[in-house]
Chain A
């Protein structure tokens, strides 16, 4: 296991369609985070999981967004009824604070384009 992986790397969808992204964290990391990054900005926190529990959600995470981490391993982020404003890079990160690893390690991201 060499790092955080995300799939797909790119997604083009039409407005109104649903999309789902997957993130596989570093295997021994119990925390998993989702961020969104738009052009020229830093990543913005969306939500995070500790094991399978979703412990915090940002106000940025509207009702159309849902995230899961069913077995405490990989996570999915679904966006329903996509809007053009959802176009962004969606980043996943993982960490393991229990072992002192407070830094988050990021995946390559999924770039979403809503047309």
Chain B
């Protein structure tokens, strides 16, 4: 069975601070996909990144970076120099081979204060 745990329910930082959102997953499959989504106050889920289980290379996109470690079953997300517009709920998700149903974590609410 697949499971995604986001232990941090809420995080509050001051603008320009760096912040890391944790994600730990469980799966029996050797082939799976990991995702991060952002849900701003407007409510629409916005896709941020997908990672295949074969590819442990970390990725950086502007102020965003992702650290995938199979050894610890973690896929953490770091925002560098946070901005007020980063305030949102962030979800980590997992889908197994075939990419059918996606299992989401409970989300981490990030508040960036000016």
A41 touches B106 (CB 8 A): yes
Q: A103-B50, A105-B47, A109-B44 known; A45 and B107 CB under 8 Å?
A: no
- B32-51 vs A, CB cutoff 8 Å, 1 = contact: the mask equals 01010100001111110010
A43 touches B45 (CB 8 A): yes
Candidate in A40, A89, A102, A108 with the most chain B CB atoms within 10 angstroms:
A102
Is A91 close to B, CB under 8 A? yes
From DSSP, what is the main secondary structure of chain A's interface residues? strand
B44 touches A108 (CB 8 A): yes
A103 touches B35 (CB 8 A): yes
Contacts of A70 on B, CB cut-off 8 Å? none
Q: A41-B106, A42-B93, A102-B33 known; A48 and B44 CB under 8 Å?
A: no
Candidate in A31, A91, A105, A106 with the most chain B CB atoms within 10 angstroms:
A106
Contacts of A97 on B, CB cut-off 8 Å? 98-99
Q: How far is the CA of A104 from the CA of B94 in the complex (A)?
A: 11
* Chain A residues within CB distance 8 Å of chain B: 31, 33, 40-45, 48, 55-56, 58, 89, 91, 93, 95, 97, 102-109
Q: Which 6 pairs of residues, A with B, have the shortest CB-CB distance?
A: A42-B104, A45-B101, A106-B45, A102-B99, A103-B50, A108-B44
